[in-house]
Amino acid sequence: MVAVDNLLKLLTDADTELDSLWEIVDEACAVIKSKCLRDGKLDAELLDAWQLVSYELAFCVADISAAKAFNRYALQLGQSEITNQISLSFSAEIIQAVLQRLISRSVDVGMDRNRLLDFYARPTVNLLLDTYLSSDSLAGIGQEITEKNLQRLPSNLDEEKELVRETFFRFANDVVMPLAECIHREDQDIPDTILRPAAALGCFGTCIPERFGGLQPDNSADSLGMIVVTEELSRASLGAAGSLITRPEIAARSLLSGGTEAQQQKWLPKLAAGELLCAISITEPNTGSDVAAVSLKATPTAGGWLLNGSKTWCTFAGRSELIVVLARTNPDRSLGHKGLSLFILEKPAYPGHRFKHEQEQGGSLSGKAIATLGYRGMHSYDLFFEDYFLPAENLIGEEQGEGKGFYYTMAGFAGGRIQTAARATGVMQAAFESALSYAKQRQVFGKAVSDYQLTQVKLTRMLATLTAARQFSYAVAELMDAGAGQMEASLVKLFACRAAEWVSREAMQIHGGMGYAEETAVSRLFVDARVLSIFEGAEEVLAIKVIARELIEKA
């Protein structure tokens, strides 16, 4: 018991050291701010000269936040010795990584490098690095993981959420996993054998209030429920299941943020029931993550609007009967994001990789799927609008919503980012389970791969990283349900999506040559993980334009 108590004390001390590093990040942000002010305001053009530093500082804060979330979870769990040890090893990894980032950029912000080097002499940091990053410690934890077949640490969820998790865990195993490989290799559509039972379980209503037929309480938000479901679906397949919630999540938050009561009553119940499958059309060929630069034209006409132009990377556009579309309703480009509005488009569902919807009025919407190396099943489309008519009542907010599309989109994206972090955690979980199983079974040079020290260290680090991502997303869910957490949603996406690439890569490496073969699921997990840092806000844009900018503004 004394040993466990000492571990708990060290977790608290580790948190203090992480806070000290965060203070240094804040100081660096203040230096950048002082050099990027013009007429007392932060100037975007001046700030662009600090992109590399901004990028590194954003990752510093994301990493620190993940480590603190892990420590908080371990302290709440209390007497789990292996959880405490893994959390301490993760804190040690993060302290080491953040110090290296800050040292490498110290010249840029005029920081005394010796001050950073002095961290290595601090008693707690010294103890963490010497003890919990030692090969003996990391390998010892990995050996225990292998011997106990420890696929995940305790969730610390309440009974209700654990029941939800278990329900979707079984659904993922029984329904999705048997189909996942075929859908990926043959680039098939998601079959009704997945969609129908997913809808019956309430999959599409996790972010929609009960009064509209969803699972979320009317008087409170429940982001955690959405995260738990997303993780288990993504563990089975990112493309065939894990992303089913993303689009109704964004659509529902947008409608709840700006839709009229009539619009909410018309579309939310159908989204919740899975009667209408949904896609989101924001990105354009020349805009990428720059939402404010959207140029798809929405021109007023009798009874509504005509859409003309193109979109790209509209995932699930063919199969969906409803698409949320961001368009420019005011041709004055100097208005930027204030000239944008958000529309609801309804159309028939189309199977396959291309479609064309022709309206009686003469307009048309055509789509062609983009060939991708992973994330198959949903298909992402290039879309082309030619005088495509939308009724006036399909403008979210109707007259009051004109020019507010950017804000409604951002309201949806906050949920999309935390949901993407949960998708990343699900992919990591699947990759870790696959790596652990294979390492125990595969014999090399006369013994199991899992008996080698380096494999044991890899397994420890993988479990630490995916647990940190999971507990970070749980913590952000609490904040978002309390009406906060916008910055944290961006931070957890930044951390978890990069982490998923690394964990899936390590899982593939443990498989050796078989990891590169399409007959093993880990190859699919690897290519699926790669997209996570790109969609719902590309990593660079998220780090520089969202996270770092806010950190610098507040410094």
| Active site residues per annotation | 536
CA atoms within 13 A on the CB side of 385: 27
C-alpha to C-alpha distance for 316 and 313, rounded to whole angstroms: 9
The DSSP output letter for 406 is H
C-alpha to C-alpha distance for 111 and 119, rounded to whole angstroms: 14
**Of 46, 487, 429, 449, which Cα lies nearest the Cα of 242?**
429
Q: With contact defined as beta carbons under 8 Å apart, do 176 and 170 qualify? A: no
C-alpha to C-alpha distance for 257 and 250, rounded to whole angstroms: 10
3-state helix, strand, coil in the chain (%, to 5): 65, 15, 25
C-alpha to C-alpha distance for 555 and 551, rounded to whole angstroms: 6
**Residue 193: how many CB atoms within 10 A of its CB?**
12
Which stretches of 187-245 are DSSP H helices? 192-200, 223-236
Distances (CA, A) of 285 to 10, 290, 504, 532: 50, 11, 29, 19
User: Which is it for strands 278-281 and 322-328: parallel, antiparallel or unpaired?
Assistant: parallel
What dihedral do alpha carbons 234, 236, 241, 247 form, nearest 10°?
A: 0
| CA angle, residues 482, 487, 492, in degrees to nearest 5 | 95
C-alpha to C-alpha distance for 8 and 358, rounded to whole angstroms: 64
Distances (CA, A) of 185 to 180, 239, 417, 530: 9, 12, 27, 17
